[in-house]
Amino acid sequence: MKKTLLAFLITTISMSLQAQVADTLTYETYMEWVQAYHPLAAQANIMLTMGDMEVRAARGNFDPLLYGNLDKKSYDEKIYYDKREAGISIPTWAGIELNGTFEQNSGQYLNPERSVPTGGLLSAGASVNLGQGLILDDRRAGLRKAQIYQQSTETDRIRMLNELYLQATGAYWNWALAFENRTLLEEGVELAETRFRAVKSSYEQGDFPAIDTVEAATILLNREYSLQNAENELFIRTQELNNFLWDEEGYPIVLDLQIVPEDLFSSETFILNEEELRTLVGDHPELRLVDFELASLEVERRLKAQQIIPVVKLKYNFLSEEFSQFDQAGFYENNYKWGLSVYTPLMWRKARGETRLAEAKINFKENSRDLKGLELRTKLENELNSWNTLNAQIVTYTRNVAALEMLLQGELRRFEIGESSLFLVNSREVSVFSSRLTLNELLSKRKIAFAKSRYAAGLGFE
């Protein structure tokens, strides 16, 4: 059965050591839920599996290979030949290929060089590249690239989670802002309704002129209009928040209407260590991903450079009719076969061209990394500046809101004793509500700016 977020909150809160309001979805609880169950978080974990499987597939190139051949020709009641061969080939990380074979051949027209004892012939030996492929070959290069990719998947996972962290944070505080604004405008409508009823009653008693009731009515209508916009904005932000809420079974969760966000005015616990962030940006996931690309390109360059070296392949095998005789065989004394293959292009144009191309790709990627590093540092400085500016603006605007509220209270006292007008009271009240809405926006922006600063430095949920 699908669990509602409210049920989850009740369970979580009951296990918490701190008493919390049951219908409040705190930012911390929300982010834990997103990290645990959002599909993008699951996709980020799948990246690790992809890296592991890439390495497993590359290691498969070093798997021992069993083979067997049977070739027989019979014609006109004659056995022309009957050739049987089975063996095993074992590639190694050192570039040496171990092999063992068993041959059993017979027939009237068998090629003499294929002649073996009646009971068959065993051979065991190895082949090794003494030139091209001695240091690096396709197998080892493929495995090394797979290992680099495996390491990069962990970094790519962090990058994906960091993006999820930033998006989820923005959705939450935008929702909190819309909720605070709706609550504030509801308060404004209630005040306007109360004042309209009072002015209407005073008009009916002959204390106020009729025009004052029109003034009070227009104020009420304007605030109702603003409240309708705020309710629509809250609906939109709630739907955006729902995009980040999923249960453990992979079903989306619809936020219960009784659940409210954390107060924008809650005590700030966010502290940014700017110098630490400036240090961490040098190890940003995006830079690490470029480093992994450079490492893979370096493996490719080394492999291409090997093509300039001539191919020199040496093969040697001991020959014996029984396994027990292998330890008695002397190297190059008797019962052996060996071979040497040597070839090389005369001008190496292909090898030199591919090597230089690989070097050019590395240089291009290094330049891109330098540019990316500068861009990330610039972005971090911009976010830190925004963070500091918002902190200063909040201090300034908090004082401004307090001053405007004092002016409003003074205007209300003057209105009560008949020294002011409804128009002036409304003007003061509009200024107060406008400034409080602006303060709400600044508080929301500061919380998002905190996340943006951490994201710019390469941090997220951790």
CATH number at residue 224: 1.20.1600.10
Residue 17 has which token pair? 């050591």
Residues 282 and 407 in one domain: yes
Residue 262 has which token pair? 């954390």
| Distance between CA atoms of residues 241 and 235, nearest Å | 10
Q: What is the pLDDT of residues 256-293, one digit of tens each?
A: 888 999 988 875 566 788 999 999 999 999 999 999 99
Distances (CA, A) of 440 to 177, 182, 192, 260: 6, 11, 21, 16
Q: What is the mean pLDDT of residues 434-449?
A: 94
Distances (CA, A) of 212 to 139, 203, 218, 408, 418: 89, 8, 10, 19, 13
The residue to which tokens 């009971």 are assigned: 119
| Distance between CA atoms of residues 297 and 292, nearest Å | 9
Determine the Cα angle at 237 with ends 232 and 242, to 5°.
125
Residues 68 and 193 in one domain: no
Distances (CA, A) of 67 to 85, 148, 289: 8, 32, 41
Residues 247 and 381 in one domain: yes
Residues 149 and 222 in one domain: yes
**Cβ neighbour number for residue 349 with a 10 Å cutoff:** 9
Q: Is 14 helix (H, G, I), strand (E, B) or coil?
A: helix
Residues 102 and 25 in one domain: no
Nearest partner of 181 among 133, 236, 131, judged by Cα: 236
- Our count of domains for the chain comes to 2
Please give the helix or strand (H or E) that residue 351 lies within, else none: helix 349-416
Asked whether residue 389 is assigned to any structural domain, the reply reads yes
Task: Please report which confidence band the pLDDT of residue 18 belongs to, taking 50, 70 and 90 as the band edges.
Answer: very low
Residues 144 and 278 in one domain: yes
Tell me the backbone φ, ψ of residue 260, rounded to 5 degrees. Answer: -120, 160
Asked whether residue 303 is assigned to any structural domain, the reply reads no
Residues 381 and 427 in one domain: yes
What is the DSSP code string of 175-208?
A: HHHHHHHHHHHHHHHHHHHHHHHHHHHHHHTTSS
Residues 168 and 196 in one domain: yes
Task: Please report which confidence band the pLDDT of residue 57 belongs to, taking 50, 70 and 90 as the band edges.
Answer: very high
Task: Please report which confidence band the pLDDT of residue 12 belongs to, taking 50, 70 and 90 as the band edges.
Answer: very low
Asked whether residue 47 is assigned to any structural domain, the reply reads no
Q: Which range of residues forms the domain containing residue 323?
A: 63-92+96-132+311-347
Residues 118 and 151 in one domain: no
Asked whether residue 50 is assigned to any structural domain, the reply reads no
User: Strand pairing partners for 65?
Assistant: 89
Q: What is the pLDDT of residues 397-415, one digit of tens each?
A: 999 999 999 998 998 888 7
Residues 170 and 241 in one domain: yes
Look at the alpha carbons of 222, 226, 227, 232 in this order and tell me if their dihedral is positive or negative. Answer: positive
Asked whether residue 43 is assigned to any structural domain, the reply reads no
Are 62 and 93 a contacting pair, CB within 8 Å?
yes
Q: Indicate the pTM of the whole model.
A: 0.82
Asked whether residue 200 is assigned to any structural domain, the reply reads yes
Are 24 and 255 a contacting pair, CB within 8 Å?
no
| Distance between CA atoms of residues 284 and 455, nearest Å | 9
Residues 119 and 266 in one domain: no
Task: Please report which confidence band the pLDDT of residue 330 belongs to, taking 50, 70 and 90 as the band edges.
Answer: low
| Distance between CA atoms of residues 251 and 423, nearest Å | 53
Residues 246 and 292 in one domain: yes
Using a CB cutoff of 8 Å and minimum separation of 24, what contacts does 203-206 make?
none
Nearest partner of 354 among 404, 411, 297, 397, judged by Cα: 297
Asked whether residue 446 is assigned to any structural domain, the reply reads yes
Asked whether residue 111 is assigned to any structural domain, the reply reads yes
Q: What is the pLDDT of residues 221-249, one digit of tens each?
A: 999 999 999 999 999 999 999 999 998 88
